[in-house]
Amino acid sequence: MVAFLLWLLLFLLCWPLALLALVLYPVVWLVCLPLRLVGITVGAVFAFLGALLMLPARLLRGRPT
């Protein structure tokens, strides 16, 4: 809702810039999508490596009683 109100304010102050932002938003989203996917993948790899490094400690700890 805040983004919409800010866009309306921009539309009132400078309507060509607001229309340009409205048209370019999907293009920017499509450009950022692969970077977002790379970020998710890198986060998953680090989580996997962390779990792999902690596995011996978890095995030695045994079952909680």
pLDDT (tens digit per residue) in 24-38: 999 999 999 999 999
pLDDT the model gives residue 41: 97
Mean pLDDT of the chain: 91
pLDDT of residue 19: 93
Inform me whether the pLDDT recorded for 64 exceeds 80: no
The two structure tokens encoding residue 35: 């970077």
The whole-model pTM stands at 0.57
Give the pLDDT score at 45.
Answer: 98
